[in-house]
Structures are given as structure tokens and as C-alpha cells.
Amino acid sequence: MTAVVEFYQFLMKRKKFWLIPIFVVLFLVGGLLLLTQGSVVAPLIYTLF
């Protein structure tokens, strides 16, 4: 959790707000990959793509 706080402080101090959408998308795709791996939800996700 400290890494998230430090990353947030870095973004606010350096004013690199354009990085926020990139990391949100990466986090969502990573969560989707973890959810589909060996899950009952996997066939539903595969039909979306």
C-alpha cells in the first residue's frame, strides 16, 4: 500500500496527471486477466473479445 501512496505523491508533486489513465487501464486489464484465469467467468469474458 505504501507504493500506491508514494506513486500518488509523485504524480501530484511532478504534475504528471497524464499517467493516471494509463495506470487505471493497466490495472483494469490486469484485474480482468486475473479474473478470467481458471474461473467460471472466463467463457463470458472470452465472448466479449
pLDDT of residue 6: 92
Percentage of the chain with pLDDT > 70?
88
- CA quadruple 33, 36, 37, 40: dihedral, nearest 10: 170
What cell was used for 42? 472466463
Report DSSP letters for 1-47, one per residue.
-HHHHHHHHHHHHHT-TTHHHHHHHHHHHHHHHHHHTTSTTHHHHHH
Task: Determine contact, residues 7/15, Cβ cutoff 8 Å.
Answer: no
pLDDT digits (tens, 9 = 90+) for 1-47: 798 899 889 888 998 888 889 989 998 988 888 877 776 767 776 77
